[in-house]
Structure 1
């Protein structure tokens, strides 16, 4: 299966998902189907990094797309912006593609230092001026922050692992299933008890809510895990259904197919705005633009 065919299938899954998200009264099963879209897009980013003739231009396209989509996010006040995930995944892959272990380590260290420094700066700015949510989305996307990722860092790490194991289908499959299982475990009753235990211990260390417990819960959210939703059951927390995207990845034959890449860059924001507007007309959402 070519990358073009996989992207078309991912777009179909994604559209079904967003119909369930934005159109009122739709069955929850549409959101289940939508779990297959993100992993396929993330999987293809790794191969695009390998096959592109100019990786810097590829990164620039993803960055510009993420910033442009963040403006729509700010207007509609929605969380949807897959381009931020794709950009961060491609960026980390590029940093890890350095020829020596020393340079790889240096690149990742600088990346982490930048993200931590950026978090501190933005936190200080927000404490002084209280950044409005509509402006926060473009600001985070423009600065390349990891705090504006749809689904959290989990998807980025998933994409990096899929790239690292791309040449070995068995290892790729085992890694993918393991990652999804770990995600599902975090939302299970076992995961909920673990989160409560750690949070309780951290709060007990200071006799009440502390910076440590706040940081712990913040890290969980950064990785795409809502600590307050853990333990809700596998049907309520259905992200684990992304495991069914694996067969489609294994069918990839490293062929490109028709070269109409700009269609996918345009389709994502266009279909979200259209479905959001339809949902608003049907009374399901409140239109924030205009």
Structure 2
């Protein structure tokens, strides 16, 4: 995540707003670690509460990403960093599973792809708002058309999915093609699904209205509960740390988050493969 500046608003005078951007993301890191312990060790009885706690992770990180994207000085560089991280994560998990197969764990972890696609839509939103504000209809139209790019980027993956029904094509070939397709971030293949991209964009659109941001999160959580009835609805509890955010940057620690994510997944996967499979 990028560093954010202090938000100069009356809300920052509230003593109960205890979390800055860094502490907010560190909280998400702890919960993420617990969630991935469950992912890697569920076959040997990892308790379900670990993954319940992990339901808060994506909303917190997406909220932090909306703040980061607004304040970053170079939005294109920010997106490039996420794109490179997404490519690296895809290659890393593919190679790791190739070298150390584990029938109990399938690594589909790539939150960088979710943040990248969400960031694209934040950029498109900025361009749309600028076009409307500056009375440049063509810019506004282009921004709307750009929204289809992450959807069209899913076509290679859909093509590979169709090929998978052909019994004459070896599974290893299909798997390689899937990995190559995932190098093209698209809204259909991001971790957590397209709904999380929409949630991230909503956080960005309403970033000056904390109450609306939290309301959107609660609505998303309720919709998930109605549709799936799984643990994902528990992401509504991310509203608590989001409400406690004071708008300050904190120490930043940008590189830590880029390094810790693949590192802890790799270490947990290796331990699970060597000792639990």
> Is the TM-score greater than 0.5?
yes
Cα pair 1:95 1:104 within 8 Å, conserved: no
Unpaired segments of 5 or more residues in structure 2?
1-18, 98-105
Say which of 15, 36, 61 aligns to 2:56.
Answer: 36
Q: Are 1:106 and 2:137 counterparts?
A: no
Structure 2 Cα separation of the partners of residues 150 and 172 of structure 1: 21
Q: How many residues are treated as equivalent by the alignment?
A: 234
Match of 2:196, SS state, is helix
Aligned to 2:153: 118
C-alpha displacement of 1:148: 2.1
Cα 1:121–1:5 shift into 2, 3 Å: closer
C-alpha displacement of 1:50: 0.8
Cα deviation, 1:118-173, whole Å, max 9, x if unaligned, reads 344554466569652244234323x2222321110011101111111111122122
Aligned to 2:114: 85
TM-score (norm 2): 0.78
Cα pair 1:39 1:242 within 8 Å, conserved: yes
Structure 2 Cα separation of the partners of residues 38 and 118 of structure 1: 23
Greater RCO, 1 or 2 (C-alpha within 8 Å, sep 6+): 2
Structure 2 Cα separation of the partners of residues 40 and 136 of structure 1: 29
TM-score (norm 1): 0.75
Aligned to 2:182: 140
Superposition pairs for residues 1-290 of structure 1, below 5 Å? 1-23=19-41, 24-75=44-95, 76=97, 77-98=106-127, 99-101=130-132, 102=137, 103-112=139-148, 114-124=149-159, 127=162, 132-141=174-183, 143-187=184-228, 234=229, 237-284=230-277
Unpaired segments of 5 or more residues in structure 1?
188-233, 285-290
